[in-house]
Amino acid sequence: MKIGFHTDAFNSAYWSFDKCLQWAQQHQVRFIECGLIDGVSWIHGLGYQPHVALYEDPALLTRKMNGYGVRFSQVDAAYPLSGKDGPTRGVPYVLKSIAWAKMMGCACVDTTDGLHAPEGLDERQALDSMKRCYEQILEVAEAHDVTINIEPHGYFTTRPEMMDKMLAFCDSRCLRMNMDTGNTFIAGQDPVAFLKRFISKVSHVHIKDVSESLARAVRGGQTGIAVSQCALGEGVNADNIRECLRLLHGHSYTGALSIECEGQGGPMIEKSLAWLRSTLKELGIPEGS
């Protein structure tokens, strides 16, 4: 399996994307995932945000990343598609991201729903609206041969029965799932059972542990967390992560394991990387490149 990380890890450290590339090279991490920015942001422009804007030229950025020996495992275009503005804001954003990802040689684009029940829509209306969104998105994704992953992160997607419906929106080889060990756990689900149910659909994985204090405070009352506030292996979700890795290996998964944890400017994500590498070795799972 391929080890990578989401640049969200360095949001709080105000790192630039370039600095994330340097960290990846230093720690021999070959894969990276970042959020995509549609437009201009002052904090990004000043170098205080570790994500990438869609105005960046894909050929020049590919050349730069090649110099660090780093590739994208996925790009994150997870504007919530479940709300009233899903069709007007989310869909155009995802469509731009698909074409940009293709030019970058990136195979996966991440999508999701909102953290809460959408205002002004009942569940049936929201599902119908999301279905129309994904129909438009998948038409473009198939033309570009880019995989659209649905991530369990919100009101609908962390409920297995709703994820079932969403993955059946379109009969398309390009519609898959991004498993997230932390979001499923914090939403009150069993990550292992969640993965078992959808393992044939998984094409990318977010690895997140959950601290005991956070689990005690919000588990079952929240649907997602941006990053874990503890290193992998130091939380109450570590055993679930280990079992998920066993399941993925048994299912011949060789895709990316993208670490999502608070980086603390380096120390915490370094602990997470060491734990993940050690656990893969312990389970007899080779690290891909």
**Which single residue is written with the structure tokens 């940009």?**
100
Q: What is the dihedral of CA 85, 129, 198, 216, to 10 degrees?
A: 50
Residues near 76 by beta carbon (within 8 Å), at least 6 away in sequence: 6, 33, 34, 35, 36, 109, 110
pLDDT score for 183: 98
Q: Are 150 and 175 in contact (CB under 8 A)?
A: yes
Q: How many residues in the chain?
A: 289
CATH annotation of 2-282: 3.20.20.150
Helices (H), ranges, the chain = 17-26, 42-45, 58-68, 91-104, 123-144, 160-167, 181-186, 191-198, 212-218, 238-250, 267-282
pLDDT score for 131: 98
Amino acid in the structure at residue 161: E
Distances (CA, A) of 153 to 110, 136, 289: 11, 21, 28
Amino acid in the structure at residue 226: A
Closest CA to 51 of 78, 27, 29, 90: 78
pLDDT score for 228: 87
pLDDT score for 203: 98
Q: Are 228 and 269 in contact (CB under 8 A)?
A: no
Nearest 5°: the CA angle 30, 55, 25 is: 15
pLDDT score for 31: 98
Tokens of 161: 């029965």
pLDDT by position in tens, the chain (length 289): 999 999 999 999 999 999 999 999 999 999 999 999 999 999 999 999 999 999 999 999 999 999 999 999 999 999 999 999 999 999 999 999 999 999 999 999 999 999 999 999 999 999 999 999 999 999 999 999 999 999 999 999 999 999 999 999 999 999 999 999 999 999 999 999 999 999 999 999 999 999 999 999 999 999 999 888 999 999 999 999 999 999 999 999 999 999 999 999 999 999 999 999 999 999 999 999 8
Tokens of 80: 């919530």
The model scores a pTM over 0.75: yes
pLDDT score for 109: 99
Amino acid in the structure at residue 75: V
